[in-house]
Amino acid sequence: MKKLFENLYRSRSNHYIAIIVMACLAFSSGCDKKQGVKTGDKPPGISGTDIHGEFVNLNQFKGNVTILYFWTKSCCGERIKQLEPYYSMNKHKGLAIFAINVGNTREIIEAYAKDNGLTFTLQTDERAMTSREYGVFGFPTIFILDREGTIRKKILGDIDTAQLEKLVAHYLVE
């Protein structure tokens, strides 16, 4: 690494390249802050009001297998509607779905839920603060939490409901 920087500094044009390289290295390794959550973690707390104005806290889902589903209406609206039948058939087995919409207002998501018969817990993250804390940068991002509230699976991107059901099934029978 030292030789690389020595060679870069030999000419004036390379001087600018060296500055850019050092800036990139500083940004990529300068902060030791944990980026998001991963499998095996206890997730950061989430609390606030759901789309109906009721207080909701992630801890209230302990004892259930929880699908924590970060989504946007523009990309994931059709997919999230497909979760309702699965939820209705399995909530008595201890399945919970906590869907967090990123970017839309509570009023928009409340109307969307009503129009589409969604009965699982929905919350909005209008300023994307919660999604950033979880390291969510693409949608959907789905976390499967076991009955103790530990993250067992992190799914980046779209997954069809049948595949999600298979991943969750293992934790529902425990």
* 18 confidence band (pLDDT: 50, 70, 90): very low
Beta carbons of 99 and 82 less than 8 angstroms apart = no
| This prediction's pTM | 0.79
**Is the predicted pLDDT of residue 160 greater than 70, yes or no?**
yes
**Residue 14: per-residue pLDDT:** 47
Q: pLDDT digit string (tens) for 120-135?
A: 999 999 999 999 999 9
Q: What number does CATH give the domain 47-172? A: 3.40.30.10
For residues 24-47, average pLDDT: 67
CB atoms within 10 A of CB 122: 23
For the chain, give every residue range classified as CATH 3.40.30.10. Answer: 47-172
